[in-house]
Structure 1
Amino acid sequence: MGYPILDLAESEAARGGVCALAVMAKAPRAGKVKTRLAPPLTLEQSAALNICFLKDTTENIAGVCAGGRAAGLISYTPVGDEALFDGILPESFALVGQRGDGFGERLLAAAEDILACGFGAVCLIDSDSPTVPAAAFEQAVAELARDGDRIVIGGSDDGGYYLIGLKRAHAEVFENITWSTGSVYAETMAAAAAAGIEVVELPLWYDVDDGATLAMLAGELLDGMPPSFATMAGYPAAHSREFLQELSADGGAF
C-alpha cells in the first residue's frame, strides 16, 4: 500500500492541537541502512533489522496516537524511494520528504516543514531505538501541549538523543552541533540554555547502531535484562524480538 505524502503548501487548522511524531528514516535498502551493524550482521540482515525497527517504532507511536493528540509521520530520505515503506507502517501514517545537506539541516528543515503543515508541535524521533517506552512519547506529547514555548529532549546513553520535540523551529538547537559524537546532547542543551528556551528532559534510553548496542537490545528483548540506566520498562518491540530469536536459533551471535 502507498502512504499519503504531506502537502507542504497546505496548512490545516485542524492539526493545531496535534503533535506530529515524526520518525527520521532512510528508505530501508541493503547497504544504505544500519551499515555499522555489519559485522556482526550481513548488510542484508542489517536492512531486515532496520525494517523491524521501523515496524516496532511506528506501531509504538500509533498506540500513542490513538488518543487523538498526536499523529504519526515518517520524515524520509531519499525522495523517490517512498515505495520501499509500503506495508511497513501503520495505515494511519503519512510521509514527508527530507531536505537539506547535513544532519542538522535536515532536522531543522523537517521541523519547519511539519510545523508549516499546521501541526501544533513536532517530535523528531530516531529510527534506531525500537524499545523506547511508550510513556516517553506520551510525556513528550503532554509537555508540548502545555501553554508556552519549550523543547523536550530524550537523551541516549551514547551522548546523543532519540527524540527532540518543539513547538517552534528553533534553529539554535540544530546549528553548530558536532553531530555523530558523544557531545550532541550536551551541546544541544547548552544551545537551548543560551537561547533562553525551556527544556524538559525525557527518560534516558539508547539507540542500536553497533555490535555492543545490538547485544544490549538482545539482552533486553531475549533475556529480560533492561539497560542498567532504565527507569521504566521498554516497549516490547515484537518484530525486533522475533528477528533476534530467529537469528539466535540460526547460530547468530550478538
Structure 2
Amino acid sequence: MRANALVVMAKAPLAGLVKTRLVPPLTPEQAAELYRALFLDLLEGLKGFQEADLFVAFAPDESAPWFHDTVPSAFACFPQCGGDLGERMSRVFAELASRGYRSVALIGSDLPGLPASHLQEAFRRLAELGHEVVLGPSRDGGYYLIGMSRHLPEIFQGIPWGSNRVLRATVERLSVLGIRTHFLLPWFDIDTVQDLHYLKSIAKQWTVHLPHRTLRFLEELDTKLLNG
C-alpha cells in the first residue's frame, strides 16, 4: 500500500446518462461511445502511475459488472455513495482516509492527454509542502482534480454543482475556512462541441499522452455533424 491514493470518478457509459450536453448534435449513443473512449484512454495513461494506488469510483451501483470486467487490473473499483457530486466525493475521501491513505486525489474521467506531471505535483504539494488542498482548474469554471491531505467534508457544502461557479465557490469556501490551497496548471475536460473542437486543435501538438480511442472516434464523426 502506498501513502497516496488516486481516484477516477466515473459513470457507466450508458446512452442518456453521460455527456448529455453534447446531445444534439451527437446522438445519446454517440455521446456514450465518446465517454467510453475518454475513460479508457485516461485509464491507459494512468496505469503506470507509480506515486499512488489507483482506484475507480463508479456509478450507478448496477454497473459494477461492466467496471470490473473493463477496468485494467492496476485499478481497484468501488461504488460511489451519496446524493449530489459533493457528497459522493466527500464519501470517497472518507473511505480512503479510513483505509490509511495520507493524501487522496480525485479526478474526472474525461481528461484527454492529462500529463502525469500534474498528478505528481498534486501529491508533492500534499505530502511534502504542507498544502491541505490541491485544485486543478478546468476551462469550464470547475476543477478536474481535487486533492486533500485530510478529509474536509465542509468544503463540499453549498457548492452549485454543474455550474460554471464550482471552482470560484470552492475557493471562497476554502478562504473562509482558512485552508492552505495550491492550484495546479489548468487542464480541460469534454462537455461541449466547443471542447471537441479545442481537443482537435491541440491534439496535433502532442507527442505523448495521445488519447488514441478518443481521437479515432472524432475522426470517424462526420465533420458536418460537429460543425452543426
Same fold (TM over 0.5): yes
The answer to whether the Cα contact below 8 Å between 1:28 and 1:84 also exists between their aligned partners in 2 is: no
**Aligned twin of 2:209:** 235
CA distance in structure 1 between the aligned counterparts of 2:132 and 2:36, rounded to whole angstroms: 32
**Deviation per residue, 1:232-251 (Å, 9 max, x gap):** x88321221121122258x6
**Aligned twin of 1:76:** 58
Q: Report runs of 4+ in structure 1 exceeding 3 Å deviation.
A: none
Amino acid at match of 1:28: P
Report the alpha carbon displacement of residue 253 of structure 1 after superposing the two structures with TM: 2.8
- Stretches of structure 1 that go unaligned for 5 or more consecutive residues are 1-13, 227-232
Taking every aligned residue pair, what percent have the same amino acid on both sides? 36
Equivalent positions of 1:148-227 (< 5 A) are: 148-221=130-203, 224=204
**Deviation per residue, 1:137-190 (Å, 9 max, x gap):** 121122222164511100011110000001211112111111111111111112
**Aligned twin of 1:253:** 226
**Aligned twin of 1:107:** 89
Report the alpha carbon displacement of residue 100 of structure 1 after superposing the two structures with TM: 0.8
Mean CA deviation greater in 26-35 or 141-150:
141-150
Q: Alignment RMSD, CA only?
A: 2.0
**Aligned twin of 1:9:** none
The answer to whether the Cα contact below 8 Å between 1:159 and 1:184 also exists between their aligned partners in 2 is: yes
Q: 1:62 aligns with which of 36, 47, 51?
A: 47
**Aligned twin of 1:125:** 107
Q: 1:51 aligns with which of 36, 40, 44?
A: 36
State the TM-score, normalizing by the size of structure 1. 0.82
The answer to whether the Cα contact below 8 Å between 2:13 and 2:35 also exists between their aligned partners in 1 is: yes
State the TM-score, normalizing by the size of structure 2. 0.91
The answer to whether the Cα contact below 8 Å between 1:37 and 1:46 also exists between their aligned partners in 2 is: yes
Describe the shift of the 1:21–1:84 C-alpha distance in structure 2 as closer, same or farther (beyond 3 A): same
CA distance in structure 1 between the aligned counterparts of 2:155 and 2:169, rounded to whole angstroms: 8
Amino acid at match of 2:11: K
CA distance in structure 1 between the aligned counterparts of 2:68 and 2:221, rounded to whole angstroms: 24
Mean CA deviation greater in 94-103 or 132-141:
132-141
Q: 2:218 aligns with which of 228, 244, 247?
A: 244
CA distance in structure 2 between the aligned counterparts of 1:104 and 1:189, rounded to whole angstroms: 14
**Deviation per residue, 1:8-58 (Å, 9 max, x gap):** xxxxxx44x2x2111111111122111211222111111111111111111
CA distance in structure 2 between the aligned counterparts of 1:133 and 1:152, rounded to whole angstroms: 16
**Aligned twin of 1:3:** none
- Stretches of structure 2 that go unaligned for 5 or more consecutive residues are none
CA distance in structure 2 between the aligned counterparts of 1:141 and 1:167, rounded to whole angstroms: 9
CA distance in structure 1 between the aligned counterparts of 2:58 and 2:93, rounded to whole angstroms: 13
**Aligned twin of 1:4:** none
Mean CA deviation greater in 201-210 or 144-153:
144-153
Q: 2:7 aligns with which of 22, 39, 63?
A: 22
Report the alpha carbon displacement of residue 132 of structure 1 after superposing the two structures with TM: 2.0
CA distance in structure 2 between the aligned counterparts of 1:102 and 1:58, rounded to whole angstroms: 24
The answer to whether the Cα contact below 8 Å between 2:67 and 2:77 also exists between their aligned partners in 1 is: no
The answer to whether the Cα contact below 8 Å between 1:24 and 1:75 also exists between their aligned partners in 2 is: yes
**Deviation per residue, 1:50-88 (Å, 9 max, x gap):** 11111111122223x2x3x21211111111211222553
Amino acid at match of 2:30: Q
